[in-house]
Amino acid sequence: MSLADLPPFLFAIAVLIAVHEWGHYRVARACGVKVLRFSIGFGRVLWRRVGRDGTEFTLSALPLGGYVRMLDERDGPVPEQQREQAFGQRPLHQRAAIVAAGPAANWLLAILLFAVVAWLGTEVPKPLLGTPASGSLAERAGLQAGDWVRAVSPDGQQWQDVESLPALSAAVARAQALGEGLQLTVTDAQGHGSHSVRLDVERLAGRAPDAQLFAEIGLNPLQAPLISRVTPDGAGAKAGLVAGDRVLSIDGRAIQDAGQLRDAIRNAHDGGQPRHMAWRVERAGQVVELDVTPRLLQEAGGLVARLEVYVGSPPERVLVSRGFADGLWSGVAQSWDMAATTVRLLGRILVGEASVKNLSGPLAIADYAGQSARAGITPFLDFLARISMSLAVLNLLPLPMLDGGHLMYHLFEGLSGRPVPEWWQRQLQRAGALILMLMMALALSNDLVSRFAGWH
């Protein structure tokens, strides 16, 4: 996270909280409940207005929270002429509807934003695979350079079309987090020879979602074997490589894509000594032969050969967009799938079957906000949709202090015919606050650990 990420992060949080609280406000007003104050943020008040119904609207300097304050007997005696406007005097189903309206507003916003993203369309990398990493799950599954992934399924029964490489990565990450295998329908790069392969990502269940995990899965985009950049005074520069060289072969073995080229470079050592390689490259239409010797570096997995060059070309991209009805349905389906996956993942974390490192905190979210804002309006809207959906699911968790906890109170009242006793409400509030603080501390520690690991 940098300071440049802060404005898009604060804007996103302010919008999502405003939508959440607006849901509470509108349903409360529709049920005849008097709303005293509608507030977004804390700290110094930047803007204040009193509405026609007497509600005070405020916007404060720190938009990291908000609330709707309604007329309620717990604030003190309510005048007789206003008793029917008090929250606690409304029928149970109306009180439950007011509580559920906040998460529902975030859910509806997520559907709309997902739909807008689908309508606008976006250019994304095509799901064409490069050479799998050596020893990876993709290599063991039989995937090869040039394979085009067309659909995925966790059980071989319900298949989901794959339109982009990010969609494939998301499906693989979801299956790993949930401890499921994943079947892929694959064709060649021209769309011929359809067949299915199974990616055994359930073997990696419970692992933290880091770079090492995705390296072991081994799904790489198809990229041409180009030298895109050469570090001055590096081993590649000393061998005569220049940016724009297209590698044709190494030691007589044809090189088809960037993944195969990276593997050949990494493994160019014998017995702790770098191995000399005979390269044939195409440069400005001419074939050039080079004697290339890498530099050995000690990394976590042992000795690795490096040429200090950047390899690969941008992957092939396609425009993915939908019509009105398809886009709207895509928004509904995507939001439901995200909600179901989040609940299942939280359940697996709770029983110890998934890593707690799947929880992201404010630093990671701010980083994503900044990255998506820099990428353009469509990625930022997609980010907003995902955070809005996460906020909806989080608020529906049956924890005191959250909307889901209050819905549990109303459920108890509906089944027993009496409200939860005040003493129990106070104790549950304390327990809920403690759980939320622990969750926030854990998510923040994940952010800090991942950042320090990245710096290292």
Catalytic positions, written as ranges? 21
- Cα atoms in the Cβ-side hemisphere of radius 13 Å centred on 378: 13
Centre a 10 Å sphere on the Cβ of residue 324 and count the other Cβ atoms it contains.
10
Q: Are 394 and 365 in contact (CB under 8 A)?
A: no
Residue 313 DSSP SS3: coil
How far, in Å, are 33, 51, 59, 106 from residue 18 at the CA level?
Answer: 19, 16, 10, 10
Count of residues in the chain: 456
- Name, in order, each residue with C-beta under 8 angstroms of 386's C-beta and a sequence gap of 6 or more: 110, 338
| Beta strands 277-283 and 246-250, pairing class | antiparallel
Residue 56 DSSP SS3: strand
- Cα atoms in the Cβ-side hemisphere of radius 13 Å centred on 434: 6
How far, in Å, are 201, 253, 303 from residue 307 at the CA level?
Answer: 31, 19, 13
